[in-house]
């Protein structure tokens, strides 16, 4: 129950003094015995003067008026539901409909004592369809913790089979609330044949072969033959027959990378009678066949940990081939043209040769000379103040437009160790854009830590300090991966290595690969003869799926809308063709993109109730198999979680209230009118 009241934030002494002063003024004015009105009118007129003077004096004191509200928060009981496909694929203990019915019943049983709510990772109770493609219980409980952190959480009830295929296990986490767990599914391994994992290169190069390695597991079919096939567009392109073994076994294929483009391959194994599920008998993989790798040249006067950190990120992908040249250690590369050059300890005066590249990344260090920098680039100048150094962290620029860093990763930048940069005044000119600003302590500055330059003819980037290897090390230690560091390196190199596209008509998917359920956007750009954006063009787009079905779209582009929204599409590889007319001349653009189906939920169907027990024990809760779930509401009510009363205050100066001024005016106006009316002059 909520209640509210007003109060003055002022000493009672001042209020009492104001009241005595106002009373004195009224008595002096109306204590005369002779007056052309009655005693009653005299008292009333004195009251009006007393009230007006009192309010005027209060305004002079300028007290603060407080509006106080007490709000009673009833304890929340959050029912966190594992909304993944595996719940429906193995439903011996409880079917999805039985789980939903239990959730509805327990909410009715708890609503007189608590406020029950159901949550999934994707939404609330009306979205419990058991159709999610992955299970991330750690993220589910973290979401509950973040969404309801300001509220009175009594307990969280987690319904799950305990099978995790994404994120951290909650068994090692401690939460700020009790967690009761209810085990779904079956802990006895089912009779089944399953594709446990498929290893393949995401990218292959035209004219080469690429491997596909399939890991199979089974229970209950020892010694039986099993066909393993690879299918593309409904046509079998490779096949083997194996004999099933008690342990997991691997089946390997070598396929030809013929024409460039995205290929969708379906791995399918034979179905046997009595399997618990056939969903895990096939899995799709996507291979992007491209024409060749981008070559990245790394130049440095001496070895440095930054170089190893950058090369390890580049070499972990199949898109790049890095070449390192340190004079005196490596032979000078025979090739002269590269897709991008990374120069470490840039502007140090070393002459490496006449290498050419689409873009260059200059990383400064202790050997760098700012005077040499001024002879190489003109868009960044540093006016040194002595020989000092600043230790700075990076601050992400949300307005950066040249490429995007994953929003859920950008917060990691603030935890990166500081690196040393020259101390001085930094000045940018020309077509530059800053991705990272320098942050000194808790102060964000306008000095660049990673800046990009692109005038249409030349692209480059500058980082005025070395030591970025520490970023990768710290992130890997605290987050168990270095995704942000890898994105920074890869997208910087990707941007610098992409050759400027001088086509006057460009249509491309916003992403080359989408996951099923995601909205697909196609961005269109039209340019005039001097390569300025041109709008008002009618653009036709035709999308063709793997079965040959076509869907047509049409749009007139404008500065506020130059994208097609195709909505969510089914899994598969799609071809597109876009056409438009500009100045009487026709233009067309073709390409492809993939919609990937995430197929993780059918791989493992053996429930992990031990993990659920560990979560409950670590967080002051209790584990229940679903057969005992009816006891949960009784136990929760018995815990007697308490209400919390929260008081909120809103303060504002009384002098700002127009109503007080109007009241004073009304009191004085009424007094003046009555005195005139009753005969005073």
Domain ends where: 497, 524, 557? 497
For the beta sheet containing 505-509, the strands, ordered from the edge strand earlier in sequence to the opposite edge, are 505-509, 519-526, 563-568
Whether 33 and 107 share a structural domain = no
Q: What is the CATH number of the domain that holds 198?
A: 2.60.40.10
Q: Please compute the mean of the pLDDT values over residues 415-422 and round it to a whole number.
A: 94
Region 268-280: mean pLDDT is: 91
CB 83 within 8 A of CB 129: yes
Residue 228 has pLDDT above 90, yes or no: yes
Angle (CA) 556 561 564, round 5°:
75
Domain that holds residue 657: 3-70+650-677
What is the rounded CA–CA span in Å between residue 646 and residue 151? 10
pLDDT tens digits, 160-191: 999 998 888 999 889 999 999 999 988 888 89
Q: Is the pLDDT of residue 219 over 60?
A: yes
Please check whether residues 314 and 400 belong to one and the same domain: yes
pLDDT band (50, 70, 90) for residue 252 = very high
**Residue at token pair 């490596």:** 330
Name the nearest CA neighbour of 530 among 431, 456, 453.
456
Q: Is residue 360 part of a domain?
A: yes
At residue 530, the pLDDT reads 67
CA distance 609 to 613: 6
Write the CATH number for 628: 3.40.50.410
Rounded to the nearest 5 percent, the helix, strand and coil shares of the chain are 25, 40, 35
Element (H, E) at 306: helix 305-315
**Total structural domains in the chain?**
5
If asked whether residues 469 and 338 sit together in one domain, one would say yes
Residue 248 has pLDDT above 70, yes or no: yes
Rounded Cα distance between 390 and 441, Å, is: 10
Domain boundary among 288, 323, 356: 288
The answer to whether 605 and 192 have CB atoms below 8 angstroms apart is yes
480 touches 430 (CB < 8 A): no
pLDDT at 462 over 70: yes
What tokens were used for 641?
């979680």
565 neighbors 551 (Cβ within 8 angstroms): no
Model confidence at 207, pLDDT cuts 50, 70, 90, reads confident
pLDDT above 60: residue 648 = yes
Residue 288 predicted with pLDDT over 70: yes
Q: What is the CATH number of the domain that holds 310?
A: 3.40.50
**Structural domain includes residue 103:** yes
Binned at pLDDT 50, 70 and 90, residue 126 comes out as low
What's the mean pLDDT in 422-435?
93
pLDDT band at residue 501 using 50, 70 and 90 as cut-offs: low
Task: Measure CA of the first residue to CA of the last residue in the chain; give whole Å.
Answer: 56
Kind and range of the H or E run holding 17: helix 12-30
Q: What's the pLDDT score for residue 290?
A: 77
375, pLDDT greater than 80:
yes
The mean per-residue pLDDT over the stretch 652-676 comes to: 84
User: 483 and 531 in one domain?
Assistant: no
The verdict on 224 and 373 lying in the same domain is: no
When pLDDT is cut at 50, 70 and 90, the band that residue 500 belongs to is low
* β partners of residue 229: 239, 268
**pLDDT at residue 50 tops 60:** yes
- Secondary structure (H, E, C), 434-483: EEEEEEECCEEEEEEEEEEEECCCCEEEEECCCCCHHHHHHHHHHHCCCH
Q: State the chain's mean pLDDT as an integer.
A: 88
Span of 547-556, 585-594, 597-606 with lowest mean pLDDT = 597-606
Dihedral angle of Cα 146, 147, 148, 154, to the nearest 10 degrees: -80
Asked whether residue 601 is domain-assigned, the answer is no
The arithmetic mean of pLDDT across residues 458-487, rounded, is 93
Mean pLDDT of 570-592: 90
Residues 428 and 448 in one domain: yes
Cα–Cα distance measured from residue 464 to residue 379, given in angstroms and rounded to the nearest whole number: 13
pLDDT at 681 over 70: no
Characterize the bridge pairing of strands 585-596 and 572-582.
antiparallel
Q: Residue 6 pLDDT more than 70?
A: no
Single out the residue of 527, 533, 523 nearest to residue 564, CA to CA.
523
Lowest average pLDDT, out of 114-123, 365-374, 392-401, 445-454, goes to 114-123
Confirm whether 419 is domain-assigned: yes
User: Do the domain assignments include residue 184?
Assistant: yes
In a domain, 364, yes or no: yes
- The Cα 368–Cα 344 span in angstroms is 9
Of all residues in the chain, the percent with pLDDT exceeding 70 is 96
Residue 10 to residue 653: CA distance in whole angstroms: 11
Does 274 share its domain with 323?
Answer: no
* 457 lies in the same domain as 311: yes
Whose CA is closest to 49, among 29, 73, 66?
A: 29
CATH number, position 532: 2.60.40.1930
Residues 521 and 558 in one domain: yes
Final residue belonging to a domain, choices 288, 316, 344: 288
Over range 422-448, report the average pLDDT: 93
Q: Which residue has the higher pLDDT, 499 or 330?
A: 330
Q: Which residues, 6+ apart, have CB-to-CB distance to 41 below 8 Å? A: 674, 678
Same domain, 136 and 106: yes
pLDDT band at 497, cuts 50/70/90?
confident
Q: Is residue 169 part of a domain?
A: yes
Beta bridge partners of 586: 581
Q: Cα dist. 611→130, 322, 447, 528 in Å?
A: 20, 43, 48, 62
With a CB cutoff of 8 Å and minimum separation 6, the contacts of 62 are 653, 654, 655
Residues 232 and 358 in one domain: no
Residue 87 resides in a domain: yes
Please determine, for residue 406, whether its predicted confidence score (pLDDT) is greater than 90. no
Supply the pTM of this predicted model. 0.56
For residues 298 and 417, membership in a common domain is answered with yes
In whole angstroms, give the CA distance from residue 545 to residue 192.
32
Return the pLDDT at 617. 94
Tell me the mean pLDDT in the region 431-440.
94
């Amino acid at each position: 129950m909520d209640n509210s009241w007003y109060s003055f934030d002022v000493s009672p002494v001042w209020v009492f003094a104001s009241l005595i002063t106002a009373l004195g003024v009224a008595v002096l004015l109306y204590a005369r015995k002779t007056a052309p009105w009655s005693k009653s009118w005299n008292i009333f007129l004195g009251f009006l003067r007393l009230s007006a003077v009192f309010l005027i004096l209060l305004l002079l004191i300028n007290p603060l008026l407080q509006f106080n509200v007490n709000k009673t928060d009833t304890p929340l009981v959050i029912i966190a539901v594992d909304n993944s496909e595996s719940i429906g694929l193995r439903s011996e203990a409880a079917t999805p409909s039985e789980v939903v019915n239990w959730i509805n019943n327990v909410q009715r049983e708890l609503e007189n004592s608590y406020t029950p709510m159901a949550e999934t990772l994707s939404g609330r109770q009306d979205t419990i369809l058991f159709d999610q493609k992955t299970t991330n219980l750690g993220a589910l409980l973290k979401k509950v913790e973040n969404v309801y952190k300001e509220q009175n959480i009594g307990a969280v009830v987690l319904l799950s089979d305990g099978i995790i295929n994404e994120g951290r296990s909650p068994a090692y986490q401690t939460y700020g609330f009790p967690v009761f767990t209810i085990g779904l599914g079956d802990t006895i391994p089912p009779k089944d044949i399953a594709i446990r994992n498929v290893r393949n290169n995401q990218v292959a190069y035209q004219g080469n072969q690429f491997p596909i390695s399939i890991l199979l597991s089974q229970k209950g079919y020892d010694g039986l033959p099993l066909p393993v096939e690879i299918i593309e567009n409904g046509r079998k392109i490779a096949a083997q027959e194996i004999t099933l073994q008690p342990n997991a076994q691997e089946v390997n294929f070598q396929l030809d990378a013929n024409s460039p483009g995205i290929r969708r391959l379906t791995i399918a194994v034979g179905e046997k009678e009595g399997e618990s599920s056939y969903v895990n008998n096939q899995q799709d993989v996507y291979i992007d066949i491209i024409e060749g790798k981008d070559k990245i040249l790394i130049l440095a006067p001496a070895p440095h940990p930054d170089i190893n950190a950058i090369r390890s990120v580049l070499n972990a992908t199949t898109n790049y081939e890095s070449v390192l040249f340190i004079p005196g250690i490596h032979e000078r590369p025979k090739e002269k043209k590269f897709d991008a050059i990374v120069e470490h300890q840039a502007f140090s005066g070393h002459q490496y040769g006449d290498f050419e590249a689409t873009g260059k990344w200059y990383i400064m260090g202790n050997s760098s000379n700012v005077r040499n920098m001024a002879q190489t680039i003109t868009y960044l100048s540093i006016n040194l103040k002595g020989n000092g150094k600043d230790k700075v962290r990076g601050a992400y620029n949300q307005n950066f437009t040249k490429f995007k860093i994953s929003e859920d990763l950008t917060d990691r930048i603030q935890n990166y160790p500081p690196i040393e940069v020259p101390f001085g005044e930094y000045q940018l000119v020309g077509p530059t854009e800053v991705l990272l600003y320098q942050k000194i302590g808790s102060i964000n500055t306008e000095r660049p830590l990673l800046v990009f330059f692109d005038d249409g003819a030349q692209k480059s980037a500058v980082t005025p300090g070395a030591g970025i290897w520490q970023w990768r090390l710290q992130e890997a230690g605290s987050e168990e991966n270095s995704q942000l560091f890898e994105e920074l390196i890869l997208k910087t190199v990707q941007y610098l290595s992409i050759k400027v596209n001088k086509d006057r008509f460009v249509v491309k998917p916003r992403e080359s690969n989408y996951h099923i359920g995601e909205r697909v956007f196609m961005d269109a750009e039209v340019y005039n003869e001097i390569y300025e954006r041109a709008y008002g063009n009618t653009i036709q787009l035709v999308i063709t799926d793997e079965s040959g079905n076509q869907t047509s779209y049409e749009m007139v582009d404008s500065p506020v809308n130059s994208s097609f929204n195709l909505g969510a599409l089914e899994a598969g590889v799609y071809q597109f063709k876009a056409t438009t007319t500009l100045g009487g001349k026709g233009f067309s653009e073709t390409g492809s993109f993939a919609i990937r189906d995430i197929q993780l939920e059918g791989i493992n169907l053996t429930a992990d109730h031990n993990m659920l027990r560990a979560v409950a024990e670590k967080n002051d809760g209790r584990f229940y198999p679903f057969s005992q779930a009816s006891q949960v509401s009784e136990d929760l009510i018995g815990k007697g979680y308490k209400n919390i009363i929260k008081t909120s205050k809103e303060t504002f100066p009384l002098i700002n209230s127009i109503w007080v001024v109007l009241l004073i005016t009304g009191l004085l106006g009424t007094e003046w009118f009555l005195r005139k009316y009753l005969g005073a002059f």
